[in-house]
Structure 1
Amino acid sequence: MKWFSRRLIEKGIVALTVLLLAGCAARQEFVPPEPDEQKYAPPELNYALPEATNGSLYRHQYNLTLFQDRRAYRVGDVLTILLVEETQSSKKADTKFGKSSNVDFGAANIGGTTINDTAVGISGNRAFDGSAASSQGNKLEGAITVTVHEVMPNGVLKVSGEKWIRLNQGDEFIRVTGIIRVDDVDRYNQVFSHRIGDARITYSGRGALADSNSAGWLTQFFTSPWMPF
């Protein structure tokens, strides 16, 4: 009896360990990023200083037009993105169905005699009533200046950039990447975030404040889909 109880405890420990590992593997941990990633860093440009020309008002290899504004349109130019993001979503579902059935068998009649004890009745009833509702909202406002990394053949600009803010209890950062039409950039060299195509906007942080808002591994297990209850 003691040997059986010991084996049962060992199997229980193994099963619990497997469940805990599965719960940890079901969630991908957030890895705090590092600043100055190559994807968001300004592009490296090889600038060649033009030779000074004596007796001239203009310099060689310096573009100057009378009817062109100062909006970003070349690799290395910077522009400001106004972050105006707000999303609202809600979903509601109600499901109801039911089914009832009755089957009656009358009393048997044998030789003109009715046998009442043979009367049989079968009835069944099923019902289901379920409802669910969820809602979510997000809002992000601010501004970030990004750099033009590539000019596509059709004139669309591929931009990316990041902004890090060092606080007392950690860091906060904003990262933006996407493509922008030059026509959407206003005269102040600004563009709204909802005008960015294929946008990737990240706002997060790292440090003591960010760690305090993340659940521990045991809490993640009890809230994971692997929890059988």
Structure 2
Amino acid sequence: MKAALPALAALLLLTACGQAERLSRVGRPPPLSPVTDPTRDPAWRPVSMPMPAPQEAPPLANSLWRPGSRTFLRDQRAAQVGDLITILVSIADEAQLQNRTQRSRTGGEQMGVPNLLGLEASTGRILPNSVSPDRLVNTSSTGNSDGNGTVRRNEQVTLRLAAVITQTLPNGNMVVTGRQEVRVNNELRELTVQGIVRPQDIASDNTIRHDRLAEARISYGGRGALSDIQQPRLGQQLLDILLPF
């Protein structure tokens, strides 16, 4: 019991910290996060991907036209660290799964020693008189299990988000990161997108579809009064984790 007290105290402190943050914004809407450099986020890490073997650039004749350009004077698409690019998120996901498992098991065991070199006559000295040597063990067990699960999901998200190029990989691909916050009344909606894009996939209007992002990380959520109500109480979450039943 004494060994569990420090763990319980630490748990109460963590709970108090979470509650203190919610109490600090009672009567006020959730604050917007300041605009910062994504590369200065402690959770940000440079992306390392497999690279092709380096190739020497072929010699080019004197020309005003640059390879890869879509305009005669300048390519307006994002190409360098710090440039902006618009990501079009259009997700229409629908899935339906149904699974059922049934299991039944019955077992029985019997064990006795009717004759064992005449020693069965001496069992009364060790075991109670009511014990018969030919019926020493008799067990039975029955188990049944029936599980039925159904998953039905229908999601549709359509958004446009401006992202910034945070890194250029050696093979020319670019790492993009975008974040958007919208506050309506006391509810704050957050949208984050991160991934790797090819310059060839960027359209002439400097947009790219989300399905062209490699290692895409798309998150759409929120925090505020409505989100807090939709979450189970802390006590319920704790019981769901600890109770084995």
Same fold (TM over 0.5): yes
In the alignment, the residues of structure 2 paired with residue 76 and residue 23 of structure 1 have an alpha-carbon distance, to the nearest angstrom, of 44
Q: Which deviations, in whole Å up to 9, do the C-alpha atoms of 1:52-100 show, x marking residues without a partner? A: xxxxxxxxxxx99618642222222211111123363636241323345
- Distance of aligned partners of 1:123 and 1:166 in 2 relative to their CA distance in 1, 3 Å threshold: closer
Query: Sequence identity of aligned pairs in percent?
Result: 24
Q: Which structure has the highest strand share of the two?
A: 1
Partner of 1:142: 159
Partner of 1:82: 88
Matched letter for residue 217 of structure 2: R
Q: Which deviations, in whole Å up to 9, do the C-alpha atoms of 1:160-203 show, x marking residues without a partner? A: 11112121123212111111111222223221212211222222
**Partner SS state of residue 70, structure 1:** coil
- Distance of aligned partners of 1:123 and 1:219 in 2 relative to their CA distance in 1, 3 Å threshold: closer
The two structures have a TM-score, normalised by structure 2, of 0.56
Shift of 1:226: 0.7
Shift of 1:129: 2.9
In the alignment, the residues of structure 2 paired with residue 136 and residue 20 of structure 1 have an alpha-carbon distance, to the nearest angstrom, of 41
Contact 1:23 1:221 in 2 (8 A): no
Identify which of 154, 175, 180 aligns with 2:171: 154
Matched letter for residue 34 of structure 1: S
Contact 2:39 2:166 in 1 (8 A): no
- Distance of aligned partners of 1:38 and 1:67 in 2 relative to their CA distance in 1, 3 Å threshold: closer
User: Any gaps of 5 or more consecutive residues in structure 2?
Assistant: 22-29, 41-68, 113-133
Count of aligned pairs between the two proteins: 187
Q: Which deviations, in whole Å up to 9, do the C-alpha atoms of 1:135-179 show, x marking residues without a partner? A: 263442211011112211101011111112121123212111111
In the alignment, the residues of structure 1 paired with residue 170 and residue 210 of structure 2 have an alpha-carbon distance, to the nearest angstrom, of 22
Partner of 1:36: 35
In the alignment, the residues of structure 1 paired with residue 171 and residue 96 of structure 2 have an alpha-carbon distance, to the nearest angstrom, of 35
**Partner SS state of residue 80, structure 2:** coil
Shift of 1:35: 3.9
**Partner SS state of residue 211, structure 1:** helix
Shift of 1:127: 4.1
CA RMSD of aligned residues (A): 4.5
Partner of 1:219: 236
In the alignment, the residues of structure 1 paired with residue 146 and residue 239 of structure 2 have an alpha-carbon distance, to the nearest angstrom, of 24
**Partner SS state of residue 140, structure 1:** strand
Partner of 2:217: 200
Contact 1:72 1:189 in 2 (8 A): yes
4+ residue stretches of structure 1 with deviation over 6 A? 15-26, 29-33
Identify which of 97, 100, 108 aligns with 2:104: 97
